[in-house]
Amino acid sequence: MVQVGLAIPTAAPDAQPNTAVEFARRAEASGAHSVWAMDRLVFDNFEPLMTLAAVAATTTRVRLGTSILLATLRPPAMVAKMIATLDSMSGGRVTMGFGVGSRPDDFAGAEVPYEHRGSRMDELVHILRTAWSGDAVQHQGKFYNIDVGPVGPKPAQPHIPIWFGGSADSALRRIVRIGDGFIGSSTSGPEGFKANWEKLRQFAEAAGRDPAELHPACLIYACVDDNRSAAEEKAIGYRQHYYGGRRPIDVTGSMLGSADECVQTAQGYIDAGVETLIIGSTTADLRSFDRLCEQVVPRLIR
């Protein structure tokens, strides 16, 4: 049975201060497995870890995830403490989705060099896991030099799952080295996900790692509307708002149209190997989200 996650549209132009809590309550009531928040710095979105802290306080069951967190924009010991606090206070419900980032302005805003961001991520993950183990944090690397005592609190989970986004070979090889899962995107549709997942499996086997240890997830945007043209228009509008003309807009891999059409599209990703389907809303309109929760989610998790 596929696990269905629902992404909080904190980057939508109509997002409100109560959007995260209202979406999370509805997600939990729908039977969804998890709720997810995205990260940007130089953009008008809500900070994801603080958002998930509010969600943790108003839910009891759903897992809390980031898809994705630009973790290297934050000091290592600080982000270790923030994530551990969230996991401890939520009773061990955290899954961290990380990404190395692709927007130079986010890095400029955090005063972190954009270059070598992938290698910096490798070091960061090592530091995080050391901090979460309860050991002293002693790391001498190319990007971080830390020599301090234990950074508490310890997370509730003995091992917080770390999944990575990205489709470049370097990103897929990073998952094999230090990750627990892969978050694909709907940009190239189910076939694109399948191709990346197969490549990742091949990299794992070549490195001597069992591919079964890695979890396949995918973030897919959705708009349930019997008028498919209207659904496509909303999806394109969301992408234009988010990307600001920096990338070509292609919504062919999204879940758009009637409930039947959305379920059919979702099934394509499930058949391609997705085990956690993270569905993102193209609007913060609660009426639209209710249609997704009532007409689509139950058909995917039964």
Matching residue, tokens 């969804």: 32
The DSSP 8-state label assigned to residue 169 in this structure reads H
Q: At what angle do helices 19-30 and 48-58 cross, to 10 degrees?
A: 50
Q: Which domain holds residue 21?
A: 3-301
Chain centroid to Cα 164, Å, comes to 8
The DSSP 8-state label assigned to residue 72 in this structure reads G
Backbone φ and ψ of 21, nearest 5° = -65, -45
Q: What is the pLDDT of residues 12-58, one digit of tens each?
A: 999 999 999 999 999 999 999 999 999 999 999 999 999 999 999 99
Closest residue by Cα to residue 231 from 260, 265, 254? 254
We report the CATH number of the domain holding residue 163 as: 3.20.20.30
Q: What is the pLDDT of residues 108-123, one digit of tens each?
A: 999 999 999 999 999 9
* pLDDT at 153 exceeding the cut of 70: yes
- Enter the pTM of the model: 0.96
Give the pLDDT confidence score for residue 248 in this predicted structure: 72
Give the pLDDT confidence score for residue 247 in this predicted structure: 67
Domain count, the chain: 1
193-202: average pLDDT: 97
230-236: average pLDDT: 92
127-137: average pLDDT: 98
* pLDDT at 174 exceeding the cut of 90: yes
Q: In 3-state terms, what secondary structure has residue 145?
A: strand
Mean pLDDT of the chain: 96
* pLDDT at 187 exceeding the cut of 80: yes
